Amino acid sequence: MHNLLTRISIIAALAVAGPAFAQDTTAPQTDAGQTDATQTEAPAPADPGLAMGETVTDGPQPGQTYVREVSGDWSLECLKVEEGEEPCQIFQTMTDGEGNQVANMRIFKLPAGGQAEAGALVAVPLETLLTAQLTITVDGAQPKRYPFSVCDRQGCYARIGLTTEDIASYKRGASATVTLVPFVAPDERVEVTLSLSGFTAGYDMVTVPTE
């Protein structure tokens, strides 16, 4: 393998230096005027299949999402745009006691004037019993139940609305409990913790969509 790599390196070097090497070793001796004319008339050698490379731009490109900031247990996720304000939302991944990802929640603001101040998308595994719905309890208060709206190959989703009172309870709270029911064990409940640490600062950075 070492000899093969050495041979490849030598061949590559000769491919680049070949025209100049041949000219230096085979060109007959001539007077200065003839040499200048020959060098002027000779076309530049073509690049022997070399890749010239391209400029690499650091950071996200337009149309890509990226995490701009982290606030406690919440991350601010934004969409890179060419101009104007970037749309941003906050999200958190919830895990079980063994560190396995069970669900995630994304919260985004809605235009003013509606019943809901914000919306949220909660994603859960495909093996969830959809008819049991999704329950969220903030700091032991009265729980709220939400239906699932759609599933794809990656999971099932509940699209929920959050009122001003809901957002206020999230800001005051320490944590919420998200409860779902496994399809294979309808008598059981899976509870995961949604931390509210950093929620207030993170939510304040979420952008409001424009018309």
Q: What is the pLDDT of residues 17-26, one digit of tens each?
A: 444 434 444 4
Rounded to an integer, what distance in angstroms lies between the CA atom of residue 203 and that of residue 74?
Answer: 9
Task: Give the residue from 207, 196, 68 showing the smallest Cα distance to 140.
Answer: 196
Rounded to an integer, what distance in angstroms lies between the CA atom of residue 137 and that of residue 176?
Answer: 5
Q: Is residue 197 part of a domain?
A: yes
Instruction: Specify the pLDDT at position 8.
Output: 34
Reported as a single tens digit per residue, the pLDDT across 172-195 is: 999 999 999 999 999 999 999 999
Q: Is residue 98 part of a domain?
A: yes
Instruction: Specify the pLDDT at position 63.
Output: 81
Rounded to an integer, what distance in angstroms lies between the CA atom of residue 185 and that of residue 182?
Answer: 5
Quote the DSSP letter at residue 180.
E
Residues with Cβ within 8 Å of residue 91, at least 6 apart in sequence: 74, 75, 77, 104, 105, 106, 107
Q: How confident is the model at residue 59 (pLDDT cuts 50, 70, 90)?
A: confident
Instruction: Specify the pLDDT at position 17.
Output: 41
Q: Is residue 162 part of a domain?
A: yes
Q: How far is CA 209 from CA 89, 179, 206, in A?
A: 11, 30, 9
Instruction: Specify the pLDDT at position 146.
Output: 98
Rounded to an integer, what distance in angstroms lies between the CA atom of residue 188 and that of residue 202?
Answer: 33
Instruction: Specify the pLDDT at position 64.
Output: 86
Between 58 and 44, residue with greater pLDDT: 58
Task: Give the residue from 67, 66, 62, 68 showing the smallest Cα distance to 83.
Answer: 62
Q: Is residue 81 part of a domain?
A: no
Instruction: Specify the pLDDT at position 163.
Output: 98
Reported as a single tens digit per residue, the pLDDT across 165-174 is: 999 999 999 9
What pairing do the DSSP bridges indicate for beta strands 88-95 and 150-151? unpaired
pTM: 0.71
Q: Is residue 8 part of a domain?
A: no
Element (H, E) at 93: strand 88-95
**Which two tokens mark 143?**
């729980």
Reported as a single tens digit per residue, the pLDDT across 98-152 is: 999 999 999 999 999 999 999 999 999 999 999 999 999 999 899 999 999 999 9
Between 64 and 138, residue with greater pLDDT: 138
**Which two tokens mark 59?**
């950071």
CATH number, domain of 138, equals: 2.60.40.1880
Between 140 and 6, residue with greater pLDDT: 140
Residue 191: domain span:
91-204
Q: How confident is the model at residue 34 (pLDDT cuts 50, 70, 90)?
A: low
Domain count, the chain: 1
Task: Give the residue from 175, 87, 100, 181 showing the smallest Cα distance to 133.
Answer: 181
Instruction: Specify the pLDDT at position 211.
Output: 60
